[in-house]
Structure 1
Amino acid sequence: MSNIKDEIEEYKKLLKEYKISFNDLTRFCPKDRETRKTAIRIATNIADNKFLAANVINKKQLPLKELKKNFSTCYNIITNYRKYIIAITLLFIKDFSSLRSYIL
C-alpha cells in the first residue's frame, strides 16, 4: 500500500511541473469511452516514440505539429484533452505501474 502512496506523491509532483493538478484531470478527462480510448492510444504512441516522449519531457508540452501529422483525424481530441494526454503519457514514460492499473 505504501508503494501506491509513494507513486501518487511522485506523480503529483511530476504533474505539478506540467501545471496539471488532479482536479484538472477530472475536468479534462474525456467522458465518452471511445474518446478516452483514443486519448490513451495517442498517449501510448507518444510514450513509445523516443522523439515525441523526449519532446514532452523537455518542453513540458505536446508536440502538436508532429502529432497532427501522425494523428490528423484525432487532432480535435489532442487539442481538447491535451492535459489528460500529457498525464497519461507521463504514466507510461515514468512507469508508474501500480498507479497505472488504477487509472487506466
Structure 2
Amino acid sequence: MGSSVVRALRVLPPGAVDTTPPPAADRPAPGKAAAPAGPVKTRETASAGYRLALEAHRVAVDPAHQRPAAPDDGDPSRIPADARDAFAHYRAQARETASAVQGAAIRRARAERTAA
C-alpha cells in the first residue's frame, strides 16, 4: 500500500452527519430481503488465503487474553461440585470488572457531553 494511500483526513464536528431517515421512497420494501449474490461462504469454502490468515491468528492469539469458557449462571448443576466456589469467585470478578468498565464509559460519555 505504501505511505501515499491516505492523502487527507477531514474531521467533522459532532452532529455534522445527517442522521435523518431516508424518505419512504428510498427505503426497501418491508419483507423483501436482498437475494444473496452467490453461495454462502463458510470457513470450509473460503479461499486458501483466508484459511492461512485464520490459522496464523489462532497461533498468535495469547490464551491469557481470552475469556475462559464458563457454563451459564442459570444452571449450576452443570458446574462440578469441586469447582463451584472457584466459578462463583470468577463470576464475581467478572461482574466487578464489567461494572467498572460500564462506570468508566458512563463517566467518559458525560464528560464528552459537557465539553461539547
TM-score range, shorter chain: under 0.3
How high is the TM-score relative to the length of structure 2?
0.18
Q: Relative contact order, CA 8 A, sep 6+: which one is greater? A: 1
TM-score (norm 1): 0.20
Larger Rg: 2
